[in-house]
Structure 1
C-alpha cells in the first residue's frame, strides 16, 4: 500500500451495498459432478433457471459456461422459462465450480460513478479442494472481460466472507479471515487495514464463527446480512440445535454495537446427510438482492414463509422470489454464494 500502488480507498472507490442498482449479476452454470451428482444436477439446473428468470426482469445476467455445448444446454433450459433472454449473456470461460461469489471480482465505484474491480487471491477455502484451485484463474478471466481498472491486493479473501452496508461498515468473521489457511502472515490489524483500504470502509465488525455444515470456515453471508445501512438480519436459534450458541454469540456482538437494528432471522430445521455425517449449510440469510427481485431460499420448512416475510419487509419495492434450495446447498452453498453483483455505473 504505497503511493506507487494506490489502494481503491486512496483513489476514491468503495464497495456499494448489494441493494444498490446493478448493471448485472454474474453466475457460473452448474456442471461439476462432485458438487452436484447426477441424481440432483437436473434439480440444481432448474433452480438456476428460476434464478435467471427472476433476475433477468431487472438486470443483465452474465453466465459462465465451459463451452458451446454447455451454453446450448443452458440456453435451451432458460427458453422453457419466462426469462428475458435479451438480458442473458453467456461467456465461454471455463470454471471448476459455481462459487463465483468467492473467486470472482468484487466490484467498486468511485464518487464519479466509475467502476473498478478487486481481484482477491482464491485458494479454494484454505486449499481444501485441489481440484477447485483453478477458479483463481477463472476469476482473472472474468475480470479481463470487464475492461475496468483492476486492483490486486495480493491476499486471499472470498466474497462470501464479507458483507457491506455501503456506508462505511463491513461484517466478517474471525473464524474465516483469521484462519491460518488463508493469510497466516497477516495479523488482525493487517486484515482490517486491507478491508478498509480496498472496500473503502471505516469500520470492521468482527463476528466469531459460522454455521454448521459450512466448509468455508464461517462465511458471514450464511448468517448475518445488511438489508439497509442500519439494519442487520442475523440468523438466530434458541433451541438445542448445534448452531444455537454460535448464533446467539454473533447476535450479541451485533447488538453491542448499539448503532444497528439487529433482527432475528429464523433457521430452517437442520437437514442431515446421514451417509456423510454432516448437516447441509441451510440458511435463509443466504438470500440475494437483485434490482427487481430478492431470491430467498426455501427448504420445504415451516419457517420458509416467516423468513421470506422478514426479508421482504426491507425490500417493499422488490418481488420476494422463494426458490427451492435444498439440492443447491448439498454442494455447500446457496444463492448468495453462486452470485456476484456488478453495480451500475453512475452518471
Structure 2
C-alpha cells in the first residue's frame, strides 16, 4: 500500500493558533524566571493581536500564573511540559490526504543533555487539544532542527541531525529518507555547524530560515568581535552555492551573561504568524539595525522587535518556545 503523500506548510502559511510555552521549572532558570515570564507575556500580548494564542502550562502553578498574566488575551491550557520549548517538544503539523496530522518524534533532551519530566508527553497532548490525529515516528527529531519553504526544500545542519547523540550512526541518506517520509520534502540543504555554545547542537532555526519559496535568510557578522563570524560567513556561502536566493540581516554581535562566554543569541529566532513577525532583540543598537533590514523582506506583515535576553537565559528565544497550528 502506498503511503499517503504529506507536506509541511511553511511558517508563513495561515495559522489557526500559535502555542507558547510558560516557564514552570525555576531550576532551569537559575532560580528566577520572573524576567522570562515578563518577556513571554509581552510576546503573547503582542501576538494575540494577530492570532489565537494558546499557552501551554505544565503545572497548576504555571496555569495560575499564566492566567493572571495573559488570561485576558490568551487561552491557558494545562498540558504536560518540561518547560517552554514547544518548537522541539510539540507536534509538527503536516497536511496529509485526509487533512492535518500531527507528526510526533522521540525526544531525548537534545541528545541527553536536558531531560525534564513532561517533555515526552507534550506533542501528543497538544495534538489532542487541537483534535489532530497523531502519526508517531521512532526517530529522534526536534522541530528547531528543520525549516521548510513549502515547495519541497528543507534546511538542516549536520551538527544536529547527524550527531550520534540523536539517531546513532545516521548518514545523510538515512536522514533524507526519514525527512522525506515525514514531511514530503525532496531536497535537503545541509549546513555545517550552528552557533557557539548552542546546547541544541546547532539548530537551524538559530542560523537560517526560509522566508519565501527558495528564498532564505541568514545573518552577517556584526563588528570585528562577533564570536560567530566564521560560522555565519560559511553559512551564507553554503546557501548561495545551493542556488537559493539569499538575504542577510545583522547578528546581535557578542552577547554574554557577564562571564565572557558567548551565548547563542540570534535575530533568526523570530516567530512568523498571521500578519506579523516577532523578532527577539538583545541589544537596542543591533536590534534596531536587524529590524530595519527585516521589514522590507516581509511585505504585508508587521515586523515587531521585543526584548528576549531573559528568555535566552533559559537556552532559546521566541521561535524555540512557540509552535504554530496551520489553518
Same fold (TM > 0.5): yes
3-state SS in 2 of match to 1:340 = strand
Instruction: Give 1:171 deviation, angstroms.
Output: 0.2
3-state SS in 2 of match to 1:154 = strand
Structure 2 vs 1, CA of residues 69 and 34 (structure 1 numbering), >3 Å: closer, same or farther? closer
Instruction: Give 1:34 deviation, angstroms.
Output: 2.4
- Establish whether residue 279 from structure 1 lines up as the match of residue 272 from structure 2: no
Specify the alignment match of 1:117 in structure 2. Answer: 102
Specify the alignment match of 1:101 in structure 2. Answer: 87
Contact 1:228 1:314 in 2 (8 A): no
Specify the alignment match of 2:189 in structure 1. Answer: 205
Instruction: Give 1:266 deviation, angstroms.
Output: 1.1
- Establish whether residue 25 from structure 1 lines up as the match of residue 23 from structure 2: no
- Establish whether residue 129 from structure 1 lines up as the match of residue 114 from structure 2: yes
Specify the alignment match of 1:72 in structure 2. Answer: 64
Distance 1:261 1:211 in 2: 22
Aligned match for 1:242, one of 215, 227, 230: 227
Specify the alignment match of 1:35 in structure 2. Answer: 28
Specify the alignment match of 1:251 in structure 2. Answer: 236
- Establish whether residue 182 from structure 1 lines up as the match of residue 166 from structure 2: yes
Contact 1:67 1:92 in 2 (8 A): yes
1:268-306 deviation digits (Å, cap 9, x = unpaired): 12112344x632211100000011221111112422112
User: What TM-score results when the alignment is normalised by the length of structure 2?
Assistant: 0.94
Instruction: In structure 2, list runs of 5 or more residues that go unmatched.
Output: none
Out of 88-97 and 195-204, give the one that drifted further.
88-97
Specify the alignment match of 1:317 in structure 2. Answer: 300
Contact 2:15 2:325 in 1 (8 A): yes
Distance 2:284 2:196 in 1: 18
Distance 1:44 1:271 in 2: 17
User: What TM-score results when the alignment is normalised by the length of structure 1?
Assistant: 0.89
Tell me the number of residue pairs that the alignment of Structure 1 and Structure 2 aligns: 326
Aligned match for 1:306, one of 289, 295, 299: 289
Aligned match for 2:43, one of 42, 51, 57: 51
Specify the alignment match of 2:273 in structure 1. Answer: 290
Distance 2:131 2:142 in 1: 22
Specify the alignment match of 1:151 in structure 2. Answer: 135
Q: How does 1:7-18 map to 2 (within 5 A)?
A: 10-18=3-11
Instruction: In structure 1, list runs of 5 or more residues that go unmatched.
Output: none
